[in-house]
Amino acid sequence: MVRLYVSGLDAEVTQELLSGRFASFGTVTSCEIIRRKHNDVSEPRLAPQLSSARRLPAAVTAAAEAAAKEAGCRGFAYVELDPRDDAALHRCLSTYNGCKWRGGVLRVERAEPAYLARLEEQWAEEAEEAAMTPEDRTAAAAPPLASD
């Protein structure tokens, strides 16, 4: 499984379009399009409602959620791809990095693992260390013996 960073995307790109673009190189397991932030608080029509109450009314919150769903792509996304093999991944990166697609020039490269995946990995390592006996910790921390 490889996580790819894809930038240079059009504002109207959808998950289906992006997944279809990478499907020829393997199985697309997820596609996360980063949407534009939509800040309803800055709009003048909402200012009177916000000044009279500390919490946002339910109607304002619902409007903000609907607007966030309608917000366009910020120009980049993350695609998790399970490539057929290493050659397919290499072809994907070399083919799509720098190519023109839907009015933009794509930039495709390997991405860092998602934050939650890195956090879960860190927790697993910490749990493994906590389960070690004092003898195991001493053996792991001791430098290797030099051979003469």
User: What is the DSSP annotation of 21-52?
Assistant: HHGGGEEEEEEEEEEPP--GGGSGGGHHHHHH
pLDDT attached to residue 71 = 65
- In this structure, are residues 102 and 9 in contact, taking their beta carbons and an 8 Å threshold? yes
pLDDT attached to residue 42 = 41
pLDDT attached to residue 55 = 58
pLDDT attached to residue 109 = 94
pLDDT attached to residue 93 = 94
pLDDT attached to residue 24 = 94
pLDDT attached to residue 99 = 93
pLDDT attached to residue 123 = 93
Q: pLDDT (tens digit, 9 = 90+) per residue, 5-37?
A: 999 998 888 999 999 999 999 999 999 998 877
- In this structure, are residues 2 and 83 in contact, taking their beta carbons and an 8 Å threshold? yes
DSSP 104-145: EE-EEEE-PPPHHHHHHHHHHHHHHHHHS-HHHHHHHHSPPP
pLDDT attached to residue 69 = 55
Closest CA to 61 of 76, 72, 50: 50
pLDDT attached to residue 52 = 45
pLDDT attached to residue 103 = 87
The whole-model pTM stands at 0.64
Residue stretches of the chain with pLDDT short of 50: 40-53
pLDDT attached to residue 11 = 87
